Structure 1
Amino acid sequence: MGWAGIGRLVVFALLVAFLTMPDAFAFVFEPLTENNAPAIYNQGSLWSLTVSHLTIVFGAGLASTVLAVALGIFVTRPSGLEFLPLSRSLVNIGQTFPPIAVLAVAVPLVGFGEAPTFIALFLYGLLPIFENTLGGLTQVPPLTLDAARGMGMGPTRRLFSVELPLALPVILAGIRLSIIINLGTATIGSTVAAKGLGEVIIAGLQSNNLAFVLQGGLVVALLAVLIHGLMGGIERFALRRLGGERGGALA
């Protein structure tokens, strides 16, 4: 394990310790408080808020992945090529409208809570996954596809045995980008009563307590670093496995 891996383990241990025993870190945040304000967020459990935050981010990420990958596959098939402009327009909706605007539209339809936040994150996360799926599938070498046809593979088998495995590292990079973006974006969900780390930040802003603001922002930032590292490791593993399979095929 390299220094980067050791550093991530240390960060993970500190984050877990802070979330499970936040009062032990009060001395770090006390200089940021005024008028005997609490140094540690005391209006809820930091651990449960973090779990809620991650649940909605990964839930929306899973939904975005399913739709974006399916669309990417569809528009790279001969029968779906003509739908590429329409598909691009659909996945661009989340990036065209700010998440706060999506929340404003969604709240009258589905009410307050996690539902409007889920919708905003789902729409916001589509574009990077779709574009990477599209890029990964269209970059599969034609000679490889010709070889698969020569081996008697039909379209479905080529897709799942050749195209998707070759495109997987690129698709994973899109999923990683989508998740990291939405980790920060999810904090706005607290404006519509969704449980998450944005609740800590908003409480700090309302009470002029910088300690709360720093706690919420710091936890989100550390989660982003850890998840970025974890998903980057999965991408590297997929690349190494892909390289090994290519080497085995050439041998």
Structure 2
Amino acid sequence: MRAGRFLPGLAALFLLVFLLTPDSFAFLFRPLTRNNAPAIYHQTALLRLTVSHLSIVAIAVIASGLVGIVLGILVTRPRGREFLPLARSVTAIGQTFPPVAVLALAVPVMGFGTAPTLVALFLYGLLPVFENTLAGLTDQPAEILEAARGMGLTPLQRLWHVELPLALPLIISGIRLTAVISLGTATIGSTVAAPTLGEVIIAGLLSSNTAYVAQGGLVVSILAVLIHHGLSAAETNAARAAGRVG
């Protein structure tokens, strides 16, 4: 149990040391190389690519999170319930339409770089946040909502002080899913010249250098675990605050 608490910290420390001094870990990746190929990717600094990768994911997750939450709120209000099927269809498009196809369609309009990647991640991340917001706002104890009405709270006050706090654990769960999915999906952005860790993986595939593929995948994997752990902790704290766990 105690070991489990220290593992995320150890993983974060390992990742930080690796990104700051990647050459000191060359011995781990050298067995994966062939014909004396470099063991560590140096064309672009791994730390720089990691920061850029996280920035792109953060922007996309914030955007899809805000839109998904607002849509979820709107369709659970009396005046917006008739738009629920439309909202579900729109948010589902991002999950059913492959990100690679979104990139292919966006590049002719937006050009190469970060912008098409942001569009693809934004669309791909909408559904989990929207559906979890919807579930959180519709599955609430009737007695609590009735008590809020009895206290004379306005609909806006009930939403802000009662409904959203109760729905917050599920909303954070949706954001967690979106963040982890986006973190892995962002690697394809390098196919359209976005500065992500996909650059390392693609370079490894093109040069048949498995060491590059492994280190790019390793960084993305550790980041995914850390983000998952952090948002899971936030979800648990929100559930405790809402009185949904002991």
Q: Which residue of 1 aligns with 2:100?
A: 100
**Aligned counterparts of 1:222 and 1:173: Cα–Cα separation in 2:** 19
**Aligned counterparts of 1:75 and 1:142: Cα–Cα separation in 2:** 19
Q: Deviations over 1:49-90 (max 9, x none)?
A: 000000001100000011000000000000000000000011
Cα shift at 1:2: 2.7
Q: Which residue of 2 aligns with 1:7?
A: 7
Are 2:150 and 1:156 aligned?
Answer: no
Secondary structure of the 1:104 match is helix
**Aligned counterparts of 1:224 and 1:108: Cα–Cα separation in 2:** 31
Cα shift at 1:43: 0.6
Are 2:117 and 1:117 aligned?
Answer: yes
Cα shift at 1:38: 0.3
Aligned residues: 246
Are 2:91 and 1:91 aligned?
Answer: yes
**Aligned counterparts of 1:241 and 1:72: Cα–Cα separation in 2:** 21
User: What TM-score do you get using the length of structure 2 for normalisation?
Assistant: 0.98
Read off the aligned partner of 1:63 and give its amino acid letter.
A
Q: Deviations over 1:192-242 (max 9, x none)?
A: 000010000000000000000000001000100111001101111111222
**Aligned counterparts of 1:237 and 1:146: Cα–Cα separation in 2:** 25
Q: Which residue of 2 aligns with 1:183?
A: 183
Read off the aligned partner of 1:112 and give its amino acid letter.
F
Equivalence map 1:28-177=2 (5 Å): 28-177=28-177
Cα shift at 1:243: 1.8
Secondary structure of the 1:94 match is helix
**Aligned counterparts of 2:240 and 2:167: Cα–Cα separation in 1:** 13
Secondary structure of the 2:189 match is helix
Structure 1 unaligned regions, length at least 5: none
Q: Deviations over 1:84-138 (max 9, x none)?
A: 0000011011111100000000001110000000000000000000000000000
RMSD: 1.3
**Aligned counterparts of 2:215 and 2:224: Cα–Cα separation in 1:** 14
Q: Deviations over 1:159-196 (max 9, x none)?
A: 00000000000000000000001110000000000001
Secondary structure of the 2:79 match is helix
Structure 2 unaligned regions, length at least 5: none
**Aligned counterparts of 1:243 and 1:85: Cα–Cα separation in 2:** 31
Q: Which residue of 2 aligns with 1:204?
A: 204
Read off the aligned partner of 2:94 and give its amino acid letter.
G
Report % sequence identity. Answer: 62
User: What TM-score do you get using the length of structure 1 for normalisation?
Assistant: 0.96
Read off the aligned partner of 1:230 and give its amino acid letter.
G
